[in-house]
Amino acid sequence: MRPSKKYLKHLLIERLTEIGLDSARIFDEASEVIVFGSMAVGISRTDSDIDVLCIGEGQYKIKRPFLDLIGVPVREANSKEWLQGELASHVAKYGTWLKGAPQWLHAVRIGPSVVAQKRRRIRRFMRFLPLAWSRLEPCFREKYSIKLRRETQRLILLEQRIPVPPTKVLDDSWTTTLARPPYEVIYRLRQLALETCGAFIEDLLDHIDTHFSKPAHQQSIISTRSRQIGTLLVNRRREKQ
């Protein structure tokens, strides 16, 4: 259930005050104050960050424990670049307005630049990680396997012009379905991996498989089926070419 505006406003003011920020000033200077992310949709834990977008005068970014605050000037929020971005589409779909009214929702459209940017980001990780993989501590290998899985899920959604949901939704969608997403993610990661780094991609996929604390038999089902289909998709595409 989505939390009420009153609850979110109270929580935000509390967290701003805790870190010594003037909440009244932040609300005064913004024409729109929007809570987004897991907190806005009611799937957060009590210690989760509260993600806030303030559209107003200044451009700023404040990251503190339990609070991520981003300020975007009105002019920028009306620009094509911003309206076609990942954040704008996410906020438009999942945001809760604490102040002001959403004036720009009609203009939001996921643009090709954000898809290209996401693809470029994954490609760069996939290009550099094989060179660093063996020297990274296990916890970091875990971190990047989670990151790459999530970023690839986001890429697939953005390509379909679907706003990216909060991260917990991405994680849950992976574990609750044996349908398209796991196969597609594995297919994409294999596609983006270089021919020369077979050991890296296999280890990466091993890590992706073990992210979730599910019964072992379920994990192996996901692992075997999605890998087989992912590999099959890659091979078929190659044969066609």
Partner 1 sequence: MKAKVKKPRRIPRKILEAIDEALKEIEVHFTFDAFGSESEETVEGVEPEEAELEGVEPERVEAERVEPEHQSEEDEVDDYDDYDEDPYPSSISAEEVEVSIDLFISELVQKGVITREIATSFSEVFEHFFGWDHQITKNAQAFEEEIEGYFGSINYEEMRSAHSSITQIRTILDQEMGRSATK
For partner 1, the binding residues (CB under 8 A) are 61, 63, 70, 85-87, 111-113, 115-121, 123-125, 127-129, 132, 135-137, 139-140, 143-144, 151, 159, 191-192, 194-196, 237, 241
**What does each C-alpha distance from 121 to 111, 115, 118, 194, 232 come to in angstroms?**
16, 10, 5, 15, 25
Token readout for 90 is 């996410």
CB-side neighbour CA atoms (13 Å) of 64: 12
Nearer to partner 1, 33 or 222 (CB): 33
Instruction: Report yes or no: 188 and 126 within 8 Å, Cβ to Cβ.
Output: no
Instruction: Give the full edge-to-edge strand order of the sheet including 67-73.
Output: 60-64, 67-73, 50-56, 30-36, 96-99
| Helix/strand/coil for 137 | coil
DSSP category for residue 20:
T
Nearer to partner 1, 132 or 221 (CB): 132
Nearer to partner 1, 104 or 133 (CB): 133
| Min dist. Cβ of residue 54 to partner 1 (A) | 13
| Min dist. Cβ of residue 118 to partner 1 (A) | 7
- What is the C-alpha separation between 197 and 103, in angstroms, rounded? 48
Nearer to partner 1, 47 or 137 (CB): 137
Please give the span between the terminal C-alpha atoms of the chain, in angstroms, as a whole number: 48
Angle at alpha carbon of residue 193, lines to 214 and 185, rounded to 5°: 40
- What is the C-alpha separation between 78 and 130, in angstroms, rounded? 40
Nearer to partner 1, 26 or 192 (CB): 192
Tokens 């597609």 belong to 184
- What is the C-alpha separation between 53 and 30, in angstroms, rounded? 9
Nearer to partner 1, 106 or 135 (CB): 135
| Min dist. Cβ of residue 73 to partner 1 (A) | 14
Nearer to partner 1, 182 or 222 (CB): 182
Question: Whose CA is closest to 213, among 172, 153, 166, 167?
Answer: 172
| Min dist. Cβ of residue 238 to partner 1 (A) | 9
| Min dist. Cβ of residue 234 to partner 1 (A) | 9
| Min dist. Cβ of residue 26 to partner 1 (A) | 18
